Structure 1
Amino acid sequence: MSVILDLSYTVSVWISAAVAVTYTLLGGLYSVAYTDVIQLILIFVSLWLCVPFVVMNPASSDITNMTLSNTSHTSWLDWNQTSYGSPSPLESGPAAMILPLTLNYLTPSYISIIGIGAVAAAVMSSADSALLSAASTFTLSIYKNILRNQASQRELQWVIRAVVVVVGVVGTSLTKFQNSILEFWLFGVTVAYVFMFPQLVCVLFFDQSSGYGAIMGFMVSLLLKGLFGEPMLAVPATIHHIQNFPINTLCMLSSIASIFLFSFLAELLFNKGLVPERWDVFKVQESPPAAAVGGAMEDNGKLDEMDPQQEASAHMMDSRY
């Protein structure tokens, strides 16, 4: 939008975000599902429509000849033959805008508008899905289960709408930072891999894990991640490591090991009576075996079923001794 309509980058981002937030608020899941289908079709058709115009432009080199001559690593576009001029976008800075720039300078105006529409559709398809998933997760997992268990369906709908707006505003505001969206995405993937993935694996596949292990596993991974540093948060490294060392994998594996270890220790301490039962917040102490409880109840039932004569005989036999 900033390339075709000559708008500033900030204004273009806020317009796109406003459109995505608006139809997500109005339609909810149905709007996201239906627009994703329409946007997917638009992306496929529009971009393929742009390909012949880009390839047949005089500024484009023959890709086949470049591949056969082992020069595919060089640029197949001569930007000096376009109105963009030199240096190329890769050299001048806006390399992230290479697709909109290619559509704008190598295709007719009406084709470039269609191609930019496909790019915008791809962006909004991801944005509306992220908005709805974040709002649904917060509303059902935090608001409904923790904050207000008695919340009505209408109240939950309003909470989802409010969270959609908040997430949209916060996410759009992040674009003013110098960090690229890719860096934010990589940071989110790192958080999910280091902190959430160990918890998910242990909960789904291992019955031995408990809440105590989950808390300690999170603390261990957080401690290690802090010691190794995080450039995205400007956290300096206390422990210096060799280059290309898999730090995130080490933190993840340490978290899993900590979950197993502290889950086992907590269960051992409570079952051995070394820690009072009233401190067992997550209820890991084993209850008495069901067979023993059932046998005791059965014996009590048999005593209750004894008629008065048998009961009197039993007392007489006891008195003889």
Structure 2
Amino acid sequence: MLGVGVWAGWRGRRRKEGDGGETQPDSEDFMVAGRSFNGVIGTLTMTATFVGGAFINGTAEAVYTAGSGLLWAQAPFGLALSLLIGGVFFAKKLRSAGFTTLFDPFQQKFGRFMCVLLYIPSVLSEIFYSSTILAALGTTLSVILELDLRISILISTAVAVLYTLLGGLYSVAYTDVLQLILIFIGLWLCIPFAMTHRAVASITADTSWLGRWDSRLAAVWVDLTLMMALGSPAIQPYVQRVLAARSAREARLFSVFGCFGCLLLAAPPVLIGAIGASTDWNQTALRVPPLNDTDKIAPLVIQYLTPTAVSVVGLGTVSAAVMSSVDSSILGAASVFGRNIYQGILRPKASEVEVVWLVRFSVVIIGACAALVALTSHTIIGLWYLSSELVYVILLPQVVCVLFVRFSNSYGSLAGFAVGLVLRIAAGEPLLNMAPFVRYPYYSDELGQLFPFRTLAMLASLVSMVIISGMFHVGFQRGVLPSKLDVFHCYRNECDLSASTRDADMTLFSLNYNRSCELDLTSNETTGTENVSNVPD
């Protein structure tokens, strides 16, 4: 993987030189690969980004766990649906606008303060997600090779960070292609050996792995499914691949074909979980069922139900899955910090070389944070859900409004952020030892919150953004609110214009953080060209 990453970074630099570009690093080239991805590379890297260690180990864990089963393994199918939704509704609009990161529209429309505030849940989400992937590899290595868990996590983090440093999105994308091939071949190689092991009963004879429906948990199931199905367009790794497409049309195809890729690669971990649930572990070298190590079920199946040579291939498969997602997540969070926080706010005059090196430094820091969380985590799927919640509750409403609600502004953004955060915290979080201080309807002392509080918080955040944005938009546009109250400088210049010269339909953005501007998301559907027009002072 390291060799492929180095080669990909070198290839990207040669391509740029061949096009007559500068030999020095360019931040856009580093972050979105010069917008050069074709349909094949884009589809494979999009699929590999979502099919990671957490995808494989977490899905197998959900299917194997008693009382859960396939019915509660919403992540693979939810992520596939999320890619389809992203492709249909978001990909073309994002690519046509010519952004470099997901936070470009936030910074242009909502200004400095909200950009920094929204980056906090975004980077936390990527750290939690990366930690789940690293923990998945750590458990696999500790089971199969009997390596110390800490050493396993640190080595895998170092490799992913190193080749990401060298080539940026070029290295990440080309390693993704190799990783996806290894995942597909390796997992399907393990399935027949594990399924025909003498200790494994027919998975069709005992269907407990399908899960058991509990009507009391129906709302929870819907809540988690919606969270998985709607979250992807609000995460930087997804958007980064969309923005790396050569055109808006290809960006849309990446997502649609990536949806089918996720569904195809969901089958092996589902079968592994079913095999684990159908195994008489007393007939294996393990001797006892892994009741307290459900997060290790995938490596345990590979280790104890397949020949040694096959288990080695399986180990390489899970390692590849880990690398294919952790590098994307770390690079995504680092890119936003370098471009939108450092260059956009802290040091606007930073050179391209300086930004690239700052992104590289951020890759190391974020990778280290992810490794630290992985070393202290106890459940893969739990952290996976927690990272998804931050995106679903807080970031998704912001993305919807910044792209589709023309009058949205900083005031509505702040209100939506606060409402979503408060309603989510009110429900409590067992992983963080946070007890609920609000008991939503149908609360159970045994089962906890049974109300779809995540979706409630997301919808409340979205509605709050629309209402508050509309109120301030009308207030400032019609002169009801004086310009001196425009503390975010969204409308101040416009309020100083006479009513006769004001365009009532103008959408005001805070471009360059102090000026009113309009973002024109027009596009040429064939070429994916973009046009951003600014309103002068």
TM-score normalized by the length of structure 2: 0.50
Per-residue deviation, residues 50-69 of structure 1 (Å, max 9, x unmatched): 22322332222344xxx2xx
RMSD: 2.3
**What does residue 71 of structure 1 align with?**
206
Cα 1:232–1:105, aligned 2, differ >3 Å: closer, same or farther? closer
Is residue 201 of structure 1 aligned with residue 400 of structure 2?
Answer: yes
2:421 is matched with which residue: 213, 222, 228? 222
Opposite residue 264 of structure 1, the aligned amino acid is G
2:303 is matched with which residue: 97, 104, 118? 104
**What does residue 316 of structure 1 align with?**
none
Is residue 39 of structure 1 aligned with residue 179 of structure 2?
Answer: yes
Determine which structure has greater relative contact order: mean sequence separation of CA pairs < 8 Å that are 6+ residues apart, divided by chain length.
2
Opposite residue 262 of structure 1, the aligned amino acid is I
**What does residue 308 of structure 1 align with?**
none
Q: Note the C-alpha offset of 1:107.
A: 1.9
Q: Note the C-alpha offset of 1:148.
A: 1.3
Q: Note the C-alpha offset of 1:128.
A: 1.0
Q: Is the 8 A contact 2:405 2:466 kept in 1?
A: no
**What does residue 284 of structure 2 align with?**
82
Instruction: State the distance in 2 between where 1:152 and 1:235 align.
Output: 43
Structure 1: stretches of 5+ with no match in the other structure:
294-321
Alignment of 1:143-292 (within 5 A): 143-241=342-440, 242-243=442-443, 244-280=450-486, 281-283=489-491, 285=494, 287-288=497-498
Q: Is the 8 A contact 2:407 2:473 kept in 1?
A: no
Q: Note the C-alpha offset of 1:120.
A: 0.9
Opposite residue 289 of structure 2, the aligned amino acid is S
Instruction: State the distance in 1 between where 2:433 and 2:282 align.
Output: 40
Cα 1:278–1:165, aligned 2, differ >3 Å: closer, same or farther? same
TM-score normalized by the length of structure 1: 0.81
SS of match in other structure, 1:269: helix
Cα 1:263–1:52, aligned 2, differ >3 Å: closer, same or farther? closer
- Structure number, greater radius of gyration: 1
Q: Note the C-alpha offset of 1:272.
A: 4.8
Alignment of 1:108-119 (within 5 A): 108-119=307-318
**What does residue 93 of structure 2 align with?**
none
Structure 2: stretches of 5+ with no match in the other structure:
1-140, 210-276, 444-449, 504-537
Instruction: State the distance in 1 between where 2:192 and 2:424 align.
Output: 49
**What does residue 24 of structure 1 align with?**
164
Instruction: State the distance in 2 between where 1:232 and 1:123 align.
Output: 22
Q: Note the C-alpha offset of 1:290.
A: 6.7
Alignment of 1:289-304 (within 5 A): none
Length, aligned pairs only: 285
**What does residue 309 of structure 1 align with?**
none
Instruction: State the distance in 2 between where 1:108 and 1:164 align.
Output: 38
Opposite residue 341 of structure 2, the aligned amino acid is I
SS of match in other structure, 1:260: helix
